[in-house]
Copies of this chain bind each other. A is one copy, B any other.
Amino acid sequence: MPGALQTREALLDAGAALVEQHGLGGLSVNMVVAQAGVAKGTFYVHFKDRATFVDAMHKRFHGRVQAAVDEAVQGLEPGAERIFRSTEAYLDVSIANRGVKALSLEARSDPTVQGGPMAARRERLAAAGVADLKAMGWEDAEAAAQLIAAMTREISVLEFDAGCPLPASRRVLRRFLGI
């Protein structure tokens, strides 16, 4: 007999597992409750509607990433080493989280969940890199931070598909950063 919070987590876990196979667009409330082993009505005890649920999945995933990144760069000065540590923390968390592909890529162009909060989470993550790039003497630091974020997402998807870290991809990222 799980408590309320455990049921909520079970639904989010079910969603993460399913989104990986069916994509964000193919994720249905029916599937989620079946996977989680609860009744359909239970879903609406915990989430207002489908869009809220997708947002909650994205929020949970990004919360984990953000926490890992914050911890990894704690006390480091802005610069090349700090931005690379950020990307490594992102990758290490992502590889352990199901649904990465859908949540980091597909979430961007799915308008069933309104882009606002999800876009804000992505931006917050990329914004930290701007300070590092400026400290490294980059012009166009904003544009560079966006491209580094894009590469990092790409590697996370490749690593998740591979099931393990891909050192060659990480080396390339390092070399792009000039380290």
How many copies of this chain sit in the oligomeric assembly?
Answer: 2
Find the residue from A105, A150, A171, A175 having the highest chain B CB count within 10 A: A150
- Report chain B residues within 8 Å CB of A175: 144
Provided the pairs A151-B150, A154-B146 are in contact, do residues A111 and B172 lie with their beta carbons within 8 angstroms? no
CB-nearest residue of chain B relative to A27? B25
- Report chain B residues within 8 Å CB of A154: 146-147, 150
A109's partner among B102, B155, B176 (CB-CB below 8 A) is B102
Which A positions have Cβ atoms within 8 angstroms of B?
Answer: 21-26, 101-102, 105-106, 108-112, 138-140, 142-144, 146-147, 150-151, 153-155, 158, 166, 168-169, 171-173, 175-176
7 closest A-B pairs by beta carbon, nearest first, are A25-B25, A150-B154, A143-B168, A140-B168, A143-B169, A144-B172, A147-B151
